[in-house]
Amino acid sequence: MKFETRAIHAGQAADPATGATIVPVYQTVTFTQDAIGEDRGFVYSRSGNPTRQALETCIASLEGARFGLAYASGMAAVAGAMQMVKSGDHVVVADDLYGGSYRLFSKILPNYDVRFSYVDATQPAEIEKALTPATRVVWIETPTNPMLRLVDVGAAAEIARRAGAWLVVDNTFATPYLQNPIALGAHVVVHSTTKYVGGHSDVIGGAVVLDDEALYQTLKFAQNATGGVPGPWDAWLTLRGAKTLAVRMRQHEANARAVAEFLRGRPEIAAVHYPGFPDHPGHELAARQMRGFGGMVTIELAGGEAAAKRLCESTELFALGESLGGVESLVGYPWLMSHYAFPPEEKRRKGITEAVVRLSVGLEDAGDLCDDLAQALARCR
């Protein structure tokens, strides 16, 4: 079945008890057992819930994988995936990554003697140079947040495989519609389903998807032991969002391209970062490993910090807020918002300066979005 069909049907057969076409919200803590030791596949909703199982089956199918685990948030999914490491293990991390992941990797997991090395993963040789005999995980994002750099998933997967390590790919920006890292050789895929998969800015969630059954059982055991699961209503909302992911991503991309082209060359803008531009450093790689270029656009204001802040506070359709990937357009200021956790020198080294603004381009009329940016930019001169 094609992607659009699987999004609507995978894991979503009619309810056997009632025939309900849409998966019900199984809003229950426990499940009545037929006898001691005899159940119908579910015993307690932390361990498993039919609504959550439908979401897990669906998102695994969309990623072309065998197993899925749904989590209470994107960061719960990141933390859940890191249950594959133990004390003394080493992790190689792409240094252009989400601030929340960096916070976990730099402030929490080192307390358990997990060691991290940060590299420019756009250069596969840098990944290989950072490997040690203790390396168990290579962690990348592509496209990266917020600078939209591209990492070669296949090359990173081969490097990890030779080292006996797992490659984990945060696929939140690309979504399963535009990119399937497991087909490119990755071992584990992580999503903040809060973003494009849910798509409506009304539910927090995360997911981990993988093919290896033994690793799946390890992560599932850890999830049950630690309890970072979504409630059935959250799972249902996320599943509902996933049904329209394909059609939404097509429009997100069309609008993002229109916005990026509108902004390019304007005197108020020093740079527009969008992988869809042929002169973007990662364009050829994006065209090879993705099926489109996504709905995110990152810009640098010629007027520096003052102009960037003024733009963020002057838009009317682009709401100033954390998050991304919803039907509504959002504007963010990475320096003080999504990437606040990074030290200033690290942000500047990666190009995340006080002049950078991140745009999550929504599904409004593209002309209206460009008009909104035009009026906001007029205040930045």
Residues assigned a catalytic role: 46, 98, 170, 195
CA angle 4, 287, 251 (to 5 degrees): 45
CA distance 142 to 98: 11
Rounded CA separation 61/68 (Å)? 9
For residues 323 and 194, is the Cβ–Cβ distance under 8 A?
Answer: yes
What sign for the dihedral angle of Cα 96, 181, 161, 81?
positive
CA-nearest of 160, 87, 80 to 119 is 160
Do 197 and 242 contact (CB within 8 A), yes or no?
yes
User: SS3 of 280, please?
Assistant: coil
- The number of CA neighbours under 13 Å toward the Cβ of 48 is 14
φ/ψ region of 185 (left if φ > 0, alpha if ψ in -120 to 50, else beta) reads left
For residue 210, the surrounding DSSP H or E stretch is strand 206-210
Helix, coil or strand: residue 139: strand
Q: Which helix (H) or strand (E) holds 243?
A: helix 232-243
Q: Residue 194 has what DSSP assignment?
A: T
Residue (of 1, 15, 8) closest to 57 by Cα position: 8
| Beta strand pairing call for 115-119 and 356-360 | unpaired
Q: Residue 17 corresponds to which tokens in the numbers above?
A: 């008890």
